Amino acid sequence: MKDRIYFKTRPRFGKSQHPFDIGMPFFWWKGHYDLHFLKRLYERTQDEFGAYYDYHLQFFLQENQGATEIEFFRHVNDIASDELGKLIADDKRESKSKHRSIVQQKKVLRAFLDHLASIDRWNTTRTKEEIIAEKESEIRELKEIVVQLTKELKEAQKLETEGYINIPDGYLLTLVDVMVKLRKQELPDGRELAFSQFAMVWVKMICRYFRENNEPISTRTIQRYFPADLNDLKTKYAEVPSKHRLFDIVPAKKRR
């Protein structure tokens, strides 16, 4: 099987074509590609981790027939994890300069590993126990949601009914006219008696709880009588014909 080529390298001579390309301008042993990948990683900011990973991922998928992202992900994760372990073991604090460099490199590697964990769709960076604990937590949350939704459904069903209010044939628009007039009623303090943010609520109420000659009422039939804004009537708006306006809503006489 042909060896995989994981990372895009810079040209042997001349300037690098991209800041993410790994390697040196002259001869270097390709067996150390992991070290050169890490060297470029140390030069990156955390905001560049995603772009750096994706840049070499796309190269890997293009250059290797049948390659998959999980293969690349595991390889990169192993390189970063192994290097972090090596730095921890090799940290000689007697050397201030070396210790300072190792501390900075460990910081970058830990941040990069956190980034890899955030994009790990295969759970390769977590233990079986961690995965089980997460799934159990999700199950508990879902059960709580089911309990809450079941409770809300029972409350909603208390108001449901299979019955409806029947209107004689030909008098649907008379009912619509009453509803239109009711919608326009104002209280003495100027507030609307029956306010709804959306005009469609009136349409849905009529279609849901009323029938004309025991037949369902289509929303298309009455929607044009309930404009969204009473002060901005559109061309689709229509007034109820005068022959159907059989009732008026008038204020009651003030009681002493």
Record the tokens describing residue 50, joined without a space.
Answer: 């995603």
Record the tokens describing residue 225, joined without a space.
Answer: 């009588």
Per-residue confidence (pLDDT) for residue 106, from 0 to 100: 92
Residue 36 has pLDDT above 60, yes or no: yes
pTM for the full predicted model: 0.52
Instruction: For 112-161, write each residue's pLDDT tens digit.
Output: 999 999 999 888 877 777 777 778 788 888 888 998 988 888 887 776 77
Bridge partner list, 212:
167, 215
CB distance 215 to 171 below 8 Å: no
Instruction: For 201-215, write each residue's pLDDT tens digit.
Output: 999 999 999 999 999
Question: Kindly report the CA angle at 99 between 94 and 103, in degrees rounded to 5?
Answer: 150
Whole-number Å distance between alpha carbons of 104 and 42 = 9
pLDDT band at 33 (very low <50, low <70, confident <90, very high): confident
Residue 75 has pLDDT above 70, yes or no: yes
